Structure 1
Amino acid sequence: MSEIKQAGIKGYVILGAFVGLMLFTILVVYIYKANQENVPAEPQLYGALLDGARSLMRA
């Protein structure tokens, strides 16, 4: 009977690890996509972003 119980515990551990890995992957993809939204398409716009950041730091 204990063999069945141990197999059940191992199954839950493997299932938990799989669900955790899936959630971690979803989180990484979400953060990656969220960071890409604020990146300007043209390099000239980076100067405006830096100036804005500097003005926030001074305030």
Structure 2
Amino acid sequence: KSGIIQAAGDGKSKVEIAAEYRCSRHAIYSTVERWNQHHTLGSLPRSGVKEKLTRR
């Protein structure tokens, strides 16, 4: 993911990046958008009730 951000910062088009990393354009757009909004490459917290672990 850091390579995708670096390539986007270098001015490559999303289509060029997708071809280079052999992934979908949607994955490129999502990764760059997540970086632009949240400045993180990791997964974001999910909404909803947290899972409860049972003691066994």
Question: Which structure has the greater CA radius of gyration?
Answer: 1
TM-score by length of 1: 0.28
The structure where helix makes up a greater share of residues is 1
TM-score by length of 2: 0.29
